[in-house]
Chain A
Amino acid sequence: MRVMVLVKATKESEAGQMPGPELLAAMGQYNEELLKAGILLGGDGLASSSQGARVRFEGKTRTVIDGPFAETKELIAGYWIWKVASKQEAIDWLKRAPFDGGTEVELRRIFDLEDFAPAMTPEQRELEQSQMKRLHDRKKNPSP
């Protein structure tokens, strides 16, 4: 199964502050372990919400609000995607992350095609598989 590991924002991340060298080094080491264990599939840091926006939907109306957004607790600063055998394995790995100082991380299971299958028609399943294949192929051969 795959999980998404959501690292919640803090005042510091929202202020665009970079982690210090010790934390960066510890993170690098941790990511290396995740890679070696075959767990790490991907991850990114996100620029603060001051560079973002929100689109709110209501009927045909779209309301666009530029960041920053006040509810820091509801924002994310970055994420990983991990491949694990179980939720418990993900939790065990996450507990070893070099976070401190009140950092909050949320772990969420990612939908597999098999999970969706009961909600899809056979045509939709086929289309979904074709879309995933094209996406995967595009990743291997990205256009310039």
Chain B
Amino acid sequence: MKFMMLVIPKGYEQAKPGTLPDPKMVENMMKYNESLQKAGVLLALDGLHPPSMGARVSFSGGKPRVTDGPFAEAKEVLGGYWMIQVKSKAEAVEWASRAPMSDNEIIEIRQVQDFSDFPPETQKHLGDFKDKQSPPRK
């Protein structure tokens, strides 16, 4: 089963452009990433620059509307993710619990939809799209 572990760092919604994690945090993260690799569960990971360097697009009435970050009303924002392959949600929760997070931070665990999770009708429409995808890292 594939899961995403979504990191919700405290206060990241207010982080200025160019904000970097401190070296101690980088150190702890790299140790954790190494443990995920060694266990053979790590599929992918990425860190995200803060929302102040991003944008939002909302789609309604056929007209997309673009807003540049930061987003004043956001109380939680994504800071990064790991994608892991494990046997159960419980195992994903266990891995998430070992991540080097700070107080009042959250990791949200979400199951990645497999092609076979979709009903047959949807599978038909998705066709062989997945086979056409290029590998997700540069």
Residues of A within 8 A of B107 (CB): 54-55, 57
Q: How far is the CA of A19 from the CA of B62 in the complex (A)?
A: 17
Query: CB-defined interface of B14-34 with A at 8 Å, one 1/0 digit per residue?
Result: 000000111100110010011
- Check B111 against A57 for contact (C-beta < 8 Å): no
Which residues from 20 to 75 on chain A have a C-beta closer than 8 Å to any C-beta of chain B? 21, 24-25, 28, 31-32, 35, 40-47, 49, 51-59, 62, 64, 69, 71, 74-75
Q: How far is the CA of A132 from the CA of B93 in the complex (A)?
A: 24
Report the nearest A residue to B2, measured CB to CB: A44
Q: How far is the CA of A6 from the CA of B62 in the complex (A)?
A: 19
- Check B133 against A21 for contact (C-beta < 8 Å): no
- Check A57 against B106 for contact (C-beta < 8 Å): yes
- Interface residue total, chain B, C-beta cutoff 8 A: 75
Given contacts A57-B101, A134-B37, contact A40 B30 (CB under 8 A): no
Query: CB-defined interface of A115-144 with B at 8 Å, one 1/0 digit per residue?
Result: 110111100100110011011101110010
- Check A119 against B20 for contact (C-beta < 8 Å): yes
Which residues from 84 to 132 on chain A have a C-beta closer than 8 Å to any C-beta of chain B? 87, 90-91, 94-95, 97, 99-111, 115-116, 118-121, 124, 127-128, 131-132
- Check A40 against B134 for contact (C-beta < 8 Å): yes
Residues of B within 8 A of A132 (CB): 137
Q: Which residues of A contact B (CB under 8 A)?
A: 2, 4, 6, 18-19, 21, 24-25, 28, 31-32, 35, 40-47, 49, 51-59, 62, 64, 69, 71, 74-76, 81, 83, 87, 90-91, 94-95, 97, 99-111, 115-116, 118-121, 124, 127-128, 131-132, 134-136, 138-140, 143
Q: Which residues of B contact A (CB under 8 A)?
A: 2, 4, 6, 20-23, 26-27, 30, 33-34, 37, 40, 42-49, 51, 53-62, 64, 66, 74-76, 78, 80, 89, 92-93, 96-97, 99, 101-113, 117-119, 121-122, 125-127, 129, 132-138
